[in-house]
Amino acid sequence: MGILRFMLLVSLGLVLFGLKTTVSQPQQAQVPCFFIFGDSLVDNGNNNRLISLARANYRPYGIDFPQGSTGRFTNGRTYVDALAQIFGFRTYIPPYSRIRGQALLRGANFASGAAGIRDETGDNLGAHTSMNQQVELYTSAVEQMLRYFRGNTNELQRYLSRCIFYTGMGSNDYLNNYFMPDFYSTSTTFNDKTFADSLIKDYTQQLTRLYQFGARKVVVTGVGQIGCIPYQLARYNNRNNSSGRCNERINNAIVLFNSQVKNLVDRFNKGQLKGAKFVYLDSYKSTYDLAANGAAYGFEVVDKGCCGVGRNNGQITCLPLQTPCPDRTKYLFWDAFHPTETANILLAKSNFNSRAYSYPMSIQELANL
């Protein structure tokens, strides 16, 4: 490890080690509204009424959340819950499936477990709301919001231009599509490069559509180090070795995709979408650093789910009424796929006012524009 890399990790470790997993809030929200698009990492209940295996509205999910099992795929708060608190929202941004009327003006969460950039992604798990469908739901929401501005599209545009839009997509396009050849044909149709190219082409259109309907401050997160989640550790090491190594075949494909997402952000910021500002979050690097320096952050277990079945608690995800680990704060992962509340809060705080994992500015700088 190079000396600069070592010094960066040490400094980040000291910063994050000092962060408490409580979130202090400003007196008033820094932005008027917060719109969220994504998958199960940020879904907070949109899948609850769908016929799908990608649901989390049962115990012990939500065991540490005040409202209990709401459909969040973790023990407590998600990453965007923590961000909403840091922004100063007094309540969490609700799922779009439960929003009515004027509440839309505070924002909405359109995320759906198993969703991807491609429409067919996640079909192996049942019903879900793809990114294309989430974008269309958002355009319908904009039409609803227009009535509160008496049909004045310019006023609504000015309002939306002050809001933060968060989008995190791509994980399922690899986990529940490209690297699932028994169910999908994409791995025979594409190679790693052409599949990433295809995803970026679709993602460009989807993000442009958000821009056309008012998005001007947009946070786009890359895909995390999913070759190292408990699910992959259980599958990969069971078939190939017992050394606990990550599945670098998947990680290498993710790095390729992430580099293209960052390039897309550059293109948008250099005039392709006039008046908009995009921020890229390097989730791959942030999740790598969190796992590699787990002890510095208070984690004792970084390769197993707190709740699950089989090797690494990752062969089968957390089952209804299963007893999870007693101290969730010691675990990086809640289940086979998703971080614990503690990890989510640490990641949100480290991303908010630092450029260590954000480009070309921090989330706070974006909000202040």
Could you give the CA distance from residue 352 to residue 290 in angstroms, rounded to a whole number?
Answer: 16
Helices (H), the chain: 3-17, 79-87, 131-145, 153-160, 171-173, 186-189, 192-212, 230-239, 248-267, 283-292, 341-352, 363-368
Catalytic residue among 39, 40, 69, 112: 40
C-alpha count within 13 angstroms, C-beta hemisphere, residue 343: 31
Helix (H) or strand (E) holding 317: strand 316-317
Could you give the CA distance from residue 265 to residue 255 in angstroms, rounded to a whole number?
Answer: 15
Q: Do residues 336 and 314 touch, judged by C-beta distance below 8 A?
A: yes
Phi, psi of 71 (to 5 degrees): 110, 0
**List of E strands, 125-271:** 164-168, 217-221
Catalytic residue among 289, 335, 350, 362: 335
Could you give the CA distance from residue 112 to residue 133 in angstroms, rounded to a whole number?
Answer: 10
Strand 358-359 to strand 301-305: parallel, antiparallel, or no bridges (unpaired)? Answer: unpaired
Catalytic residue among 43, 338, 350, 362: 338
> Ramachandran region of residue 122, left (φ > 0), alpha (ψ -120 to 50) or beta?
left
Catalytic: 335?
yes
Angle formed by the axes of helices 3-17 and 283-292, nearest 10°: 80
- Of 3, 8, 85, 109, nearest to 354 by C-alpha is 8
Instruction: Please name every residue paired with 333 in a beta bridge, in sequence order, or none if there are none.
Output: 305, 339
Report the first-to-last Cα separation within the chain, whole angstroms: 37
Where does residue 320 rank: exposed (0-12), middle (13-18), buried (19+ CB within 10 A)?
exposed
Q: Which residues are catalytic?
A: 40, 335, 338
